[in-house]
Structure 1
């Protein structure tokens, strides 16, 4: 028999699991990245995704962690840029030490655990879609953890790691504002209607030129785009509904952090309603 949970509980659980409810200490870059991975596509997104999850993120610290300490790297990574080119490189070609030899089934099981911790509760099909394989191929991965999962129901049948069930049923109330970059891990889950009302999907999910999203107290409430104009950054925010004066002020404070990370001297923020 499945356990009943609500959409609000699912959202609050995922935000807490993905460190979007409260920022981690600035020394926790590896911990923040390891939850569900962070991709640097489009360029600059990884830095902004970490900024949404970790306090006092600095471009220099992230660059050092990638190019010198090499602590944020996954299996296939961007090599140092060569002019306008951003070549890929295999992890074992970049690191100074050998990559640990892990049995394929153990690696698959660990990836599924991390997926369920970050995006649970989830049905099998969503995992296969997120992984980029056919549903039938995803079944073999899913079966590896059948004894570690509990079935839940929040309007659809899905599964969560049993060890995360208590956290799902009693998550902290989401609070705060974040400017999430395009393709942030949080919006990469396949059940889009859980976190963003369907009427706004066309505003958020685009084939080319995706905007960033505005997260306020646990809800995606709008989109944002930014461009450099000389030494300054101009950011346009389009909210799905009218933002409160408090929310606008915090959005502007978050925009200042984005400007610093983008090397801008100042930021100008325009907020409009859709």
Structure 2
């Protein structure tokens, strides 16, 4: 029976989101690393998302401040991690993300590449791959930050072509450079440096770096689960499994190590929070936010019913379940936004949240437009409403 459990209301959950995700103005972060830690990790599949997600959570600073965190003081790094997806995390959290998620992904990437090499039939094996990797690292030491094309020009082995899926309809010849670079990056032996072009570009340069310190995987999963519960609780076992991509066994072991408390939700269900984290959350001041596609606040749960009207989902998500740019009011998604080719920020509210909300949304749109300046943003995963607004 759940009747004796503490109740966390939908309003409490929205208050938590505003404060803990640092979206309410009084809760905004001083640094990009703090902004990332607030939501555990920033989605980084789309280069612009990291910057726009951090922007929404920072007290001040333009794109250059986020670039400095990524490429100068290295307080923020991109890792192929949860759900085999690229995220940006603080360097303080990175070893835990590496041990709990990235390390197993890297092992799979290496096995997959070795399988393709073996099936190609040219005698390319683990020894050949090791030599190619060492040559690529030596080239980075000599050249400094380099693109994949520059590395291929400097390392003959990276120009090697192999045939994958031989004998099948989708047989294809491909170069090994991208796959070798992906393995090295997954293992933390290289990392993404400044892209060619602006902060919206995904054509990264690469630099040689040292792998993260080895941590016990179980310890790392427990720490990641603890941080996730603080940022996203109340949440369920299913939410954590979806967010991490872990097996159900690993999810349950991590939660057992955290020993979360159970709470009751307004819809009659139950969820988990950190031990002792059951008190009602004071309401922050009213706040509006313009969040980019794939922002963690929209993607942090498998079940998003507490902050998203199901009727609005078709307009705001693509066919694969990726959320597009969204407009928020006090912890609830109330619309979507886009940037037109001439740079204008446009938006549409899918409900009527009232006059105060409309005024706050207009002011936040102006703040976003000033921050973006001359840059142009086209989400990698386009949604129906975003396409309509830019048509």
* TM-score relative to the length of structure 1: 0.82
Q: Distance in 2 between matches of 1:26 and 1:162?
A: 25
1:20 pairs, out of 14, 19, 23, with 23
Give runs of aligned pairs for residues 106-255 of structure 1, distance below 5 A: 106-146=219-259, 149-154=260-265, 155-166=268-279, 169-173=280-284, 175-188=286-299, 189-207=301-319, 210-229=323-342, 233-242=343-352, 244-255=354-365
Find the counterpart in structure 2 of residue 269 from structure 1: none
Q: Distance in 2 between matches of 1:210 and 1:120?
A: 20
Q: Distance in 2 between matches of 1:45 and 1:81?
A: 23
Q: Residues 50 and 57 of structure 1 are in contact (CA less than 8 Å); yes or no, is this contact kept in structure 2?
A: no
Note the C-alpha offset of 1:78: 8.5
Q: Distance in 1 between matches of 2:319 and 2:46?
A: 12
Q: Residues 150 and 161 of structure 1 are in contact (CA less than 8 Å); yes or no, is this contact kept in structure 2?
A: yes
Q: Relative to 1, partners in 2 of residues 1:162 and 1:261: Cα closer, same or farther, differing over 3 Å?
A: same
Give runs of aligned pairs for residues 81-120 of structure 1, distance below 5 A: 82=147, 89-90=185-186, 91-94=188-191, 99-120=212-233
Note the C-alpha offset of 1:118: 1.1
The alignment covers a number of residue pairs equal to 260
Q: Relative to 1, partners in 2 of residues 1:78 and 1:6: Cα closer, same or farther, differing over 3 Å?
A: closer
SS at match of 1:237: strand
Greater shift, 86-95 or 128-137, is seen at 86-95
Note the C-alpha offset of 1:74: 4.7
RMSD between aligned alpha carbons?
3.1
Task: State the Cα deviation string for residues 67-116 of structure 1 (Å, max 9, x = none).
Answer: 111111154368989499x9763444347566333221221111001110
Q: Residues 26 and 57 of structure 1 are in contact (CA less than 8 Å); yes or no, is this contact kept in structure 2?
A: no
SS at match of 2:261: strand
Q: Relative to 1, partners in 2 of residues 1:3 and 1:27: Cα closer, same or farther, differing over 3 Å?
A: closer
Q: Residues 228 and 264 of structure 1 are in contact (CA less than 8 Å); yes or no, is this contact kept in structure 2?
A: no
Q: Relative to 1, partners in 2 of residues 1:26 and 1:12: Cα closer, same or farther, differing over 3 Å?
A: closer
2:45 pairs, out of 41, 59, 64, with 41
Pick the structure with greater CA Rg.
Answer: 2
Greater shift, 176-185 or 5-14, is seen at 5-14
Q: Distance in 2 between matches of 1:134 and 1:238?
A: 39
SS at match of 1:224: strand
Q: Does 1:58 align with 2:62?
A: yes
Q: Distance in 2 between matches of 1:26 and 1:153?
A: 30
Note the C-alpha offset of 1:246: 4.2
Q: Residues 56 and 291 of structure 2 are in contact (CA less than 8 Å); yes or no, is this contact kept in structure 1?
A: yes
SS at match of 1:73: strand
Q: Distance in 2 between matches of 1:261 and 1:159?
A: 37
Which blocks of at least 5 consecutive residues in structure 1 are unaligned? Answer: 267-271
Which blocks of at least 5 consecutive residues in structure 2 are unaligned? Answer: 81-85, 89-144, 150-177, 192-207, 377-388
Note the C-alpha offset of 1:245: 4.5
Note the C-alpha offset of 1:163: 3.9
Task: State the Cα deviation string for residues 120-160 of structure 1 (Å, max 9, x = none).
Answer: 011111111111234344222222212xx111010211110
